[in-house]
Amino acid sequence: MGGDPGKSRQVRLAVFQNESLARLAEQRLNQQLIGCVLRSLGAGSGALGLPTNVPHALYVLAEEEMRAREVLNIPPAEVAEREGRPAPSRRVSTPTVAVLVVTAAAALILGIGIAYTWVLG
């Protein structure tokens, strides 16, 4: 990994939609002996839902960034911007999550109401 680990800084390489995708990328980097760290970007295990279904960011040491991008086939942010494409980010938007939570809650309430009516009806 080179350099003094105490003085190296980490950079965010990519954001993945869920933990499973982030773990796959982590494994590919580890196979190439590139150290990396995953961090959950969600509220964690105390929030509604499974912590695996929240976005996860993948960090590498700054001096390993270009090699890690090659392994994962992620273009540098500058190249993506120059070509008119946004840098790769697989983050779920907050309004999308809010709509999904409200929809799930409504379906749960409706399901309980129907079951209650069916059992007592």
Instruction: Give the residues of the chain that fall short of pLDDT 50.
Output: 1
∠31-36-40 over CA atoms, to 5°? 125
Say if strands 36-40 and 56-61 run parallel, antiparallel, or are unpaired: antiparallel
Same domain assignment for residues 63 and 98: no
pLDDT at 63: 94
pLDDT of residue 116: 79
66 and 103 belong to one structural domain: no
- Tokens representing residue 10 in the block: 């980490």
Global pTM?
0.57
pLDDT at 98: 72
- The confidence score (pLDDT) of residue 85 equals 53
What separation in angstroms does the CA of 27 have from each of 22, 35, 37, 111, 119?
A: 9, 10, 11, 41, 50
Given the structure tokens 């999308």, which residue do they identify?
A: 96
Q: What is the CATH number of the domain that holds 55?
A: 3.30.70.790
Give bridge partners of residue 57 from the DSSP assignment: 15, 39
Based on the fold, state whether residues 108 and 63 are members of the same structural domain. no
Total domains present in the chain: 2
Domain that includes residue 53, residue range = 1-90
CA distance 25 to 46: 25
